[in-house]
Structure formats: C-alpha cells, structure tokens
Structure 1
Amino acid sequence: MKLVDERIWTLFKRHWQNTLTYWSVFFSFGLCIAFLGPTILDLRCQTQSTLQQITWVFFSQQFFLLLGSSLGGLFKRTLLCSLSALCSCTLIISLVFAIIPLCHHVTMLSVAMAIAGLAMGVIDTIANLQLVKLYQKDSAVFLQVLHFFIGLGALVSPLVADPFLADDSCVLGANWTANSSSSSDLQHLRSTLAGKGTVLHNISQYPLHTEGVSVTRVSYAFWIMAFINLPVPAAVFALMYHERLLPCFSPSPRLLDRDSLSSRNPTGSGVDDQGHGSVFACCNPAKLRGRPPTFFTLHILGGAILFITDGIIGSYAGFVYTYAVTPPLSMGHKTAGCLDSVFWASITAGRLAFIYLSYRFTAARLLTFSLVGVILVQCMMLILYYSGVFLFIGTCVLGLCISSVFPCVLAFTEDILDYKGCATAVLVTSASTGEMVLQVLVGSVIHSRGSYSFLLCGMIASCIGFSLFLLLLLVQRIHRNCQTDASKDTVMTEKPK
C-alpha cells in the first residue's frame, strides 16, 4: 500500500513552493496565538497594570483577529495581492514580537496585539483561500497539513517563553516583601490565563502589586520569537520572486499561469475572480442573484458548525484549568496546568494523523467520526466528572477528535459548492467569531452556575454541532438534486434546430 497517492504527490510536486509557503505562514499564526497566556503575568509587570487591565489584551487580539478574517478575502483578487498581504502580515508579526518589550503601558500593548490580531486574521483567510484555490477537490489533505502548522507554532511559543518567565514576583517594591506573591500563586495565575482567552471575573480575586521596579526577563523570549518568525516573510518574498511578481521583472506570464491557465481558466477570467472574497463582498446582491436557497443554507450551516466547534476549542482551552482546580477534582496547580498543554499537543497530533486519513476517506466520513467522537468523550467526561485521570484521557481524546473538523468542513463545503462561492471567507470568519463568543458565554455560565456547568456546556455545544452537520448532509443532497434538475432542463431547452 502506498503511503501517498501518486496523484496527490504529483500535485504537490507541481505546487510545492506555494504549498510550503502557505504552510509556513500558518506556523506564524500558531506562534502568535499561543504566547500571550503564559507571558501575561510578566507583561503585567512590564506595563505595571492590574490583572483586570492586562486581560483586555486578550479581547484586543481576538476582536481584531475576527476583523482581519472578515477582511482577508479583499486581498485575493490576484496572486500578487495575496502574497503581498501574506508577506506584510508575517513581517508585522515579527515586528510586533520585537516591539512588545518596548510597550510599557497596557494601552500600547493592546494596540500592538490588535495589529498582530489583524495580521493573523488576514493570514487565516488568505492561506485557506489560496490552498483551496490551488488544489480544489484535492485540498483536504493539504488543509490538514496547514492546520497542523498552527498547532506546531502553538507548541513552540510557550516552550520559547518558559525559561524567561518569572518564578517569583516580577515587580520589586520598596515597602513590601512579606506580601509578595509566592511562586505557586504565580503558577496558579499563569495556568488560569494559559488559554486563548479569559474572563475578567475569574482573575479579579488575585490582587498583585503594580508599583515598583520591573525585573522580568520576558523581553528575550519575544526577541527570540521575532527571530524565529523572520524566515516566514522571507519565504513569502522568495515565492513572489519565483512567480515573477516583483516590479523588477518584465510583465511576462507567471510560471503558475503558464502551467495552469489553459486547464483551469481557458477564458482568461474563470472562477478565481468569481468566487472567494471578503465576507462583505459575499453579500453583493449582483453575485447572489439567481442562487437557489440551498446555496445560502450551505454557507450558514458550514459557518454554524465551525462557530460551535472552534468555540468548543477556545472555551475548553480557556477553562479546563479552572475546572480542574475546583471541587470535586481539586487538582494541584502544576498538574492542572498540564491539561492545556495536553489538549494542544493532542490537537497537533490529531491533525498530523488526519493528513493520511483525509485522502483515504471522504471529508463527510471524517466529520461524522470526529463529531460523534467529540460527543462520546464529552458524555464520558460528564459521567466520570470525579476522575482526574479520565479528565486527562478525555482531554487527549477530545483534542484528537476535534482537531480535523475545521479543515474537513472547509474542504467539504467548498466541494459541495464547486469552489465558486464565498465559503472559505464565511467559514473562517464564523470560526473566529465562535472562538471569541463562546469563551465569554461559557465563562459567564461557569461564574453563575459552578464549575460542573463547564462540561455540560461542552456537551450541549457538541450535540448542537452534530445536529447541524446532519442538517448540512440533508441540504447537500437537496442542493445536488437541484443542480441535476437544472442541468437536465438546460439540455432539454438547447435542442438542435
């Protein structure tokens, strides 16, 4: 049995430089999205702000990531625009890493993270768009690898930051020493903030000093991450050079055009400019006129599924530590702090495994397996809520099951719509929205109803996601039948004279 299908391998060899570049920019995305939680206490010392103030940096990043995802499709019109945007955004991420140590006020830090979030959102949309456009019906495998690189970056940045984090209080004051926060208290807080987001009332009980001399060494971590990320914009620039998109070249046909213009775009305009755009461009009435109702329903259902599943990922990563350290589990801070790392490691491993599975099985089968697995593991966690061991097992299995949902939904929905719609922009934006909104909702429920509601919220969301997927399969069948009937009517009306 061949490990890689010959046709898939041939496609990859044809577009290897483009593909590797898009994968690398998602490494930048993962590198940027995971560093904030572990370093937030040191950044609090650097900016001499309260925890309530510093945690608004999370919101700043997430909100502008959503905005960037919505606007990212505006850069898709030509390959030059897409690659220029990717080069600029990955370079911006390195610059943000470099200037974060210079942000000595929380407002400056929030602005820097807003800029980084905007760049991340643009990267998210464009990289997905370009891979789908490049491989179309064969994009599932390559999308799995793309999202594997998010997990890889999310694993690297905490490892880089960890040696430079303060073990004790990183603000030294003249009038207090006995009341300084202990190392275990800081570890507890750092783990509480280790998810992609947090809720302000979860950390309001921990007063920390804001006046004194900052002694944090976290600046070195950011400079190292800025340096690690620099090869990514260089790789995008090299691709622009390879595609002859730089101004110093003559306006001869690009290599990609000469290879694929005749087969994919024989008329010179083709589907590339008819399809993907920003979410706002998708609402253009001129483009939507004449579309069947199922066309819109497919977009809505695909976006809703990702709203739920990415929301589950964000809320689980954000609050599993809080759940673990409260009764009935009452885990130790260090033990509970490992849960978030286990979750992200299992997501990364799951995306690696699904690279092979995605060309052996259809996206619909993989989605069925993944969503049913998510429901079953959430159900078992509810039943065995008192077991700390099973919480670790369930966290690992949940990460494995939910890891492939985003790339599978994206490939499946685009395949149904024949790569002519705005599915990618809608799906990416919906996922970013769910990741931000569900964290706030779940945090509010935990605050008002107790920690057990954390698992209950995950179970309810999982069932809703699977129900939406079954509805998506039903609408897919109706949509296919509508297209078949329309094509038959066209053939019957075009009789020869």
Structure 2
Amino acid sequence: MTLWDDRVWALFRSQWKQTVIYWSVFFSFGLCIAFLGPTILDLRCQTHSTLQQITWVFFSQQLFLLLGSSVGGIFKRTLLFSLVALFTCTFIISLVFLLIPLCYSVIMLSIVLAIAGLAMGVIDNVANLQLVKLYQKDSAIFLQALHFFIGLGALVSPLVADPFLSDDACILAANATVFNSSFNLEHIRNTLAGPGAALTNMSEYPLHIHGMALTQVSYAFWIMALISLPVPIAVLYLMYHERLLPCSRTSPPLLEQNPSGDTEQVSLAHKNVFRCCNLDKVRDRPATFFVLQIVGGAILFITDGIIGSYAGFVYTYAVSPPLLMAHKTAGYLDSIFWAAITLSRLAFIYLSYRYPAPKLLIFSLIGVVLIHGLLLLFYTSQMFLFIGTTILGLCISSVFPSMLAFTEDALEYKGCATTVLVTSASTGEMLMQLLIGSVIQDYGSYAFMLCCMIASFLGFCLFLLFLYVHHLHKNSYSHSTDCTKDMDMKKIPPSLAGS
C-alpha cells in the first residue's frame, strides 16, 4: 500500500507551487501567533508597563484577528486579489517583527499587534479558501498539511525567543538592583498565556516599572523577521509565475485549472465566491444550506475555544490545588499540548486520504469528550494530566481542517462556509478564553476542566445535529434537482421528446 495514489499525487504536482506557498504563509501565521506568551515579560520591561497592562496586548491581537477573519472574504473574488492580500499580510507580519523592538509604550505595542492580528485573520481566511478551491473533494488532505504548518511555526517561535529571554528582572530600578527571588519569572510567564490572563489578579507580583530596561528580546524578533521575510517574496514569485504582475504580462494570465482541467469552471468559481451570499439567491437556497454553516461554525467556536483555553489555563490548573505541580514541571504541559497537535496534524494528512471527514470527526470529537471525562475523574493524578494533555492534542487537532472540508463538500464548494467557519473559530478562541478565565476567577481552577468537559460534550451533540441536517440537505437538494429536471422535460415539445 502506497502513501498516495497516482491521482492525489497528480493533483499535488499540478498545483504544487500554489500549495507550498499557502503552506509557507501559514507557517508565518504560526510564528506570529505564538511569540507573545514567551516574550510577554520582556515586552513588559521594554514598554515599562504593569503586568495587568501588558496582558491586554493579547486581547488586542485576538480582537483584530477576528476582524481580519470576518473581512478577509472581500479579497477572495479573484486569484489576483487573494495573492495581493497574502503578499501584503505576510509582508506586514515581517514588518511587525521589526517594529516590535521599537515600541516603547504599551499603547504603541497594542496598535502594532492589532495590525498583525488583522493580517493574520485575512491570511487565515484566504489561504483556507484557496486550498479548498484548488482541491475541492480532496481538500481535507491538504488542509491538514496547511494547519500542520501553523503548529510548526508555533513551535519554532518560542525556540527562537528562548535564548534571549531575561532570567531575572529586566528593569534595573534605582532603589533596587537585586531581583526579589521569591518571584518565579517562569511561573509568571506561564500564567500570562492568553487573553484570559487579563482577568487574573496580578497585584501579587509587584515588579518594577521605572528604571532602565535590560532585555535582549529584540534579537529574537529580528531573527523571526528574517525567517518570515522569504514568505512574501515567495507570494510575489507566485504572482509573477501566474502572470498577474504588470511586468509579467507579456502573455495572457494563466487560467487556474482544477484537477479535471476545466479552466472555465474554476475561473468562474473564483470570480463568484459570494454568489451563495447574494440576496437574490437566498430564496433558491434550502434552509439547511444556512443551518449547516451555522452549526459548523458553532462546532468550531467550541473546539477552537477549547484549544485556546486549554493552552492558556492548563498551567494555572496544574499548579493549583489539588495537583500543586511544581512550576517547572507544569511549564512543560503547554509545549506538550502544542507538540501533540502539530504531530497529529502531520499524521492526519495520511488519515484524511484513507478515511472520509465524517469518520475522522466522529473519532476526534468522541476522543475529546472521553479524555475530558477521564481528566475530571483522575483530577488528582499529575501523571494522567500529562497523558490526557497529549491525547487531547492528538484528538482535537484535526477538527478544524476536517470540519472545513466536510462543510464545503456538503455545500458544494460555494465559498461562503469558509468565511463563516474561520470567523467562528477565531471568535471562539477569543471569547471562550475570557469566559473560562472569568469562571476560574470566581469558582477556582477545578471549574476549568469542568467547563472544557461541558463544551466538548456540546460540540459532539452539535456534530450529531450537523450530520442530521446534512442528511436533510442532501435529500432536499436531490428533490429540487429532480423537480428541475421535470420542469425542463415539460418545456420540451412532444414532437422532440419522442425523438
């Protein structure tokens, strides 16, 4: 048995340049999404801000990422618009890495990260849709690879930053030259892990905000700028290759081809991405067409929300009663979680080829529910928290790409589902962290795992509803198709019908 059959390999070979560049764009996305957590204390010193103030930069980035996901659809009408948007956004990300060391106030830093978040949201929307349009029924395989590169970027970013992080207080105060060793900087870094950290009481860590900033984190951002710079250059090359630049238009622009070679159909698909959202067409769509998008968006709202919340609060959960895990040991949980997600997406590239998306989704969502139930049951076991964190990452990693491929396939690649699903996932990642963070503040750390358990069970129930609506949608579509054929037959004159 070979890993790929000749048909899938032929698909990739015919579109490999676009595909590889979309993957590299998502690697840049991953770099940008993961650097804040490790560098947050050094950025606090650079901006001379309090811990409470600096945590709001997470919220700034996430809010504008959501906005970028929502408005990214305006760039999808043609391949030219899409590639211009990807070039601009990847260039902005490289520029942001250069500008961050020059931000000496938290307001300036928040503005720069808001711009980065906007670019990331557009990338998330456009790259997903372009791969779906390229591969259609085979898109699940390539979407899994696309999201693997997010995880790869998210793993590389902290590794680049780590050698340049401060080991002690990075602000030299005039009246205190020795850092208070009772504060564990690694503990504070792990506590400030996402938007929900803004709800945490930081008054117990009275770090200095006045004095000389002593930090070398600027080198980390310059290295990440160099790593991400080839990505916009690659997008520019693709635009040149597709003859979309003025300097390359010595001959007509290349038409995009789908696997069957039907260039006209794919060209129209890119130019009419919004035809499913056209108000004039709403009457022609069955209600199930819109219900599928809403329920699919709700599923990703929950599952991406669980990913963000788990990564953000598993450390706090581990160091709190009853586990009371050592700070250094608990710090590995987040890295293990993201490593499991990344490796799982690599494995699901092959699994998506072997098994249909509904089976993978059933397996993944049942696994997420079961592992949360076991984590609640063995809530005093430090060893099982590590095991459960690994299994949770393995199970939940494939939900987004599989759900996106399945929904677009159910709606026959009309294009609107991608925008809805990407925006819903971004919304869930931001809001669920804030919601769960608030619950932890009010009811303690045990409420964290209980919230995740309830959310995962709701996600599984919603998927069962999705399957039922999908069944209704197929039946209604078949019925409408039969009615259309009957109407066409009635229009044929009897003299011609017999012939």
Match of 1:408 among 378, 391, 402: 402
Match for residue 153 of structure 1? 153
1:263–1:393 Cα change, 3 Å: same
1:51–1:333 Cα change, 3 Å: same
Q: Distance in 1 between matches of 2:224 and 2:251?
A: 38
Q: Distance in 2 between matches of 1:159 and 1:268?
A: 41
Match for residue 25 of structure 1? 25
Query: Aligned AA for 2:245?
Result: L
Query: Following TM superposition, by how much is the alpha carbon of 1:283 offset from its aligned partner in structure 2, in angstroms?
Result: 5.5
Post-superposition Cα deviations, 1:37-75, rounded to whole Å, max 9, x if no partner, equal 110000000000001111110010000000000011111
1:152–1:276 Cα change, 3 Å: farther
1:394 to 2:394 alignment: no
Q: What secondary structure is seen at the aligned counterpart in 2 of 1:425?
A: helix
CA contact (8 A) 2:183 2:205 kept: no
Q: Distance in 2 between matches of 1:9 and 1:197?
A: 43
- Aligned-residue CA RMSD (Å): 1.7
Match for residue 77 of structure 1? 77
1:353 to 2:347 alignment: yes
1:490–1:378 Cα change, 3 Å: same
CA contact (8 A) 2:24 2:231 kept: yes
1:482 to 2:472 alignment: no
Match for residue 224 of structure 1? 223
1:261–1:80 Cα change, 3 Å: farther
CA contact (8 A) 2:98 2:221 kept: yes
Q: What secondary structure is seen at the aligned counterpart in 1 of 2:271?
A: coil
CA contact (8 A) 2:58 2:194 kept: no
Query: Aligned AA for 1:211?
Result: H
Q: Distance in 2 between matches of 1:254 and 1:21?
A: 19
Match for residue 323 of structure 1? 317
Q: Distance in 1 between matches of 2:73 and 2:440?
A: 36
Q: Distance in 1 between matches of 2:244 and 2:437?
A: 47
Query: Aligned AA for 2:296?
Result: G
The runs of 5 or more residues in structure 2 that have no matched partner are 494-499
The runs of 5 or more residues in structure 1 that have no matched partner are none
Post-superposition Cα deviations, 1:163-194, rounded to whole Å, max 9, x if no partner, equal 0000000000111245x343861111011123
Match for residue 273 of structure 1? 271
Number of residue pairs the alignment of both structures matches = 491
Match for residue 496 of structure 2? none
1:214–1:253 Cα change, 3 Å: same
CA contact (8 A) 2:76 2:273 kept: no
1:375–1:362 Cα change, 3 Å: same
Q: Distance in 1 between matches of 2:193 and 2:323?
A: 19
1:192-211 to 2 correspondences below 5 Å: 192-195=191-194, 198-211=197-210
Match for residue 497 of structure 2? none
Q: What secondary structure is seen at the aligned counterpart in 1 of 2:272?
A: coil
Q: Distance in 2 between matches of 1:260 and 1:336?
A: 48
1:314–1:220 Cα change, 3 Å: same
Q: What secondary structure is seen at the aligned counterpart in 2 of 1:289?
A: helix
Q: Distance in 1 between matches of 2:334 and 2:245?
A: 43
1:316–1:260 Cα change, 3 Å: closer
1:33-432 to 2 correspondences below 5 Å: 33-177=33-177, 180-182=179-181, 185-195=184-194, 198-250=197-249, 252-257=251-256, 259-260=257-258, 263-266=261-264, 270-276=268-274, 284-432=278-426
Query: Aligned AA for 2:345?
Result: R
CA contact (8 A) 1:311 1:439 kept: yes
Q: What secondary structure is seen at the aligned counterpart in 1 of 2:285?
A: coil
Query: Following TM superposition, by how much is the alpha carbon of 1:269 offset from its aligned partner in structure 2, in angstroms?
Result: 6.1
Query: Following TM superposition, by how much is the alpha carbon of 1:202 offset from its aligned partner in structure 2, in angstroms?
Result: 4.3
Q: What secondary structure is seen at the aligned counterpart in 1 of 2:246?
A: coil
Q: Distance in 2 between matches of 1:269 and 1:359?
A: 26
Post-superposition Cα deviations, 1:303-351, rounded to whole Å, max 9, x if no partner, equal 0000000000000000000000001000111111110000000000110
Farther-moved stretch of structure 1 (322-331 vs 241-250): 241-250
1:347–1:204 Cα change, 3 Å: farther
